[in-house]
A and B are shown apart, each in its own frame.
Chain A
Amino acid sequence: MSSKSYIRRPNRTLQIYAAIFLIVLYVPVLFLPLFSFNDSIYVKFPLSGFTTQWYVELFHREPVWAALMNSVKVGVTTSLIATGFGVFAAKAITRYRIPGRGPLVGFIMLPLVVPGIIFGVALLVLLSQLGIPLSLYTVTIGHVIVCLPFSIATLIPRFEGFDRSIEEASADLGENAWWTFWRVTFPMVFPGILASLLLTFTVSFDEFIMAFFLSGTDPTLPMYIWGQLRFPKEFPSILAMASIILVVSFILVFIGQWINRDAQAKTLANEDKK
């Protein structure tokens, strides 16, 4: 007899599946850092030698930094706006009796499944009809639309996770809706807000299709990278940059998830104690 319970016992098949899954998912990605340290402008095996010259080269290329700054500006603005809207949307969805709540949430989540190219074209048509010149501002508008569902999806569980009588208690103790939000709601959903900021920033930072349709003369970083793919000589330093972005993105998402999970685990622990 095994001392392990039915549900906890090790499952060999599942372990192998998980291993294959992770390999298929991440090995292709790992080629980027691998070749970014390869001493050759051609991406092919065998590797010819170790170098950091592509990284060094990267640091001397002005347009890269300009594109990076554009992406950071768009990303920060997008994450702030999307998360701001997300907080109010998530609060409204979880706290008030809204007629047609289901379809409403569906429509908000729609950008997740509608192909970016369709949204991109649609926005491009709209903006050109309105006579608005394309710029980083228009890219930001596109990104907010793309990011809003991510923000709301991150925040809804936070709002659902806490007892609404806590907000009622604040009202009961004399605070109006504004102060209740700042003294109770905001601190309690703060980990979710942080996670949403990080996630939406990452989504915006990586986004290509909307940026492709909606940017003017200033490229975002993904657009710049795409433009450089035509020049074989530039390719290794693109690999270097992609590697850096990969690491930074991974760290940001990881931090976001970790903050939120930690808080959720705490909430659950509290529920258990009751």
Chain B
Amino acid sequence: MTQNDAYISIRNVNKFFGSFQAIDDVSIDIHQGEFFSLLGSSGCGKTTLLRMLAGFESPTSGEIYIDGQPMSDVPPHQRPVNMVFQSYAIFPHLNVRDNIAYGLRKQKLPKNKRNELVDEMLELIKLPDYGDRKANQLSGGQRQRIALARALILRPKVLLLDEPLGALDKQLREQMQLELRALQKTVGITFVFVTHDQEEALTLSDRIAVMAEGRDLQVDTPTRLYENPLTREVASFIGTMNFFDGKVTGISDGTADVDVKGIGEVSTTNFGPRLRPGEDVCIAIRPEKLNLTESEPQQMGNKVQGLMDKAAYLGERSHYYVGLDGISHPVAISAQNRQRAEGTPEEKRTVWISWEDNAFVVLEKG
């Protein structure tokens, strides 16, 4: 048993495929009823971790607990989890109804009870008249829903989803995201969702584990991940970020003062507990947290002058790149076009960059 209230508890799990380490000492707790995402680029180990939850791979070392039970010796067909596969894995020789009812064989239900359950599911996934269709007569979105229904009909404790929206086109994907989230709220089952799409993860999840090279970099809520990334890896994976080199000049009352190259003195409350004065650090700010003005903003205390390098007009917003003295890369600034734009701003013009207090985040090394 684990001591905390975690529903799924991944404890110090390692996984080797030969000499390749796919999972590197991962420990994650997932709560009951949570929509939890494993986010990372391909090859980061997120799918391997999901397959270990399903039982298709076993950890080389470490243990996975589901509802307090160690899962090492439990084969896939006896685990209280069900999975929606990336390819959906719809049984092509069965029709929709038989696909959905596939897992019900062991429950030995009378036929009408079974049909009732399948009808309920068809209703839930909004395909009530599709029961007699063959798998090859279905579109990608329909297959995806059937894969969902087939898993949900067994009322699993945990539903595992392996990039279920990856194969769908953008519009359908956005619609399915909303439906998936609504569905999760309705059924109240714990969802573990694997994706490489950071936007999708931010939209859907209660919490997200960002993974890279088999390690869990940070496990947090979408807002915390975006606003307070712990490391440069996480910060650059989620959204865009401006990074600067800096040196900590002092820490007092929960505020760190950092001398930032190209910017000057910055103070922020966003930093980790291990930060020490005198340390060389990486400090970062999101493009939309920077304001761009042509004249010096009088009411803002935090500001620096720069030279407009490039501007890109994107309709609802514009991206600006501003060169600062002492740094090689221009700083990215994103601004909403609240007023009607009258042509793009000239290049090679002096501008002012300003920011609110605590807009900067000090990142941990490595």
Contacts and interface: CB of A to CB of B under 8 A. Distances in A.
B106 A174 contact: yes
Nearest to A162: B92
Interface in B46-100: 54-56, 75-78, 81-83, 85-87, 89-93
Contacts of A168: 54, 56, 76, 83, 85, 89
A173 B87 contact: no
Contacts of A266: 136
Interface string B124-168: 000000000001100110000000001100100000000000010
A170 B106 CA distance: 13
A262 B12 CA distance: 50
B91 A169 contact: yes
A270 interface: yes
Interface-centre pick from B85, B150, B151 (highest chain A CB count, 10 A): B85
Given A174-B106, A269-B136, A270-B136, A166 B154 contact: no
A165 B87 contact: yes
18 contacts: A162-B92, A166-B91, A168-B76, A169-B91, A170-B102, A172-B76, A172-B82, A172-B83, A173-B77, A173-B103, A174-B103, A175-B105, A176-B75, A176-B77, A183-B105, A270-B136, A273-B136, A273-B140
Contact of A175 (B54, B77, B87, B135): B77
Chain A interface residue bracket vs B: 20 to 34
Chain A CB within 10 Å, residue with most, of B81, B87, B151: B87
Identify the 7 closest CB pairs spanning chains A and B, nearest first.
Answer: A173-B103, A169-B89, A165-B89, A171-B76, A187-B93, A165-B85, A166-B89
Contacts of A163: 87, 89
B151 A173 contact: yes
Interface residues of B, number: 30
Given A168-B85, A169-B89, A274-B167, A174 B154 contact: yes
Given A166-B90, A168-B76, A269-B136, 6 more contacts: A163-B87, A171-B75, A173-B77, A173-B103, A175-B105, A179-B105
Nearest to A267: B92
Contacts of A183: 102, 105
B188 to A, nearest CB: 20
Interface of A: 162-163, 165-166, 168-176, 179, 183-184, 187-188, 266-267, 269-270, 273-274
Contacts of A184: 91, 93
B158 to A, nearest CB: 12
A166 B102 CA distance: 12
Nearest to A164: B89
B166 to A, nearest CB: 11
Contacts of B93: 184, 187-188
A166 B75 CA distance: 17
A172 B167 contact: no
Contact of A174 (B77, B91, B167): B77
A187 B93 CA distance: 7
Contacts of B92: 162, 166, 188, 267, 270
A172 B83 CA distance: 7
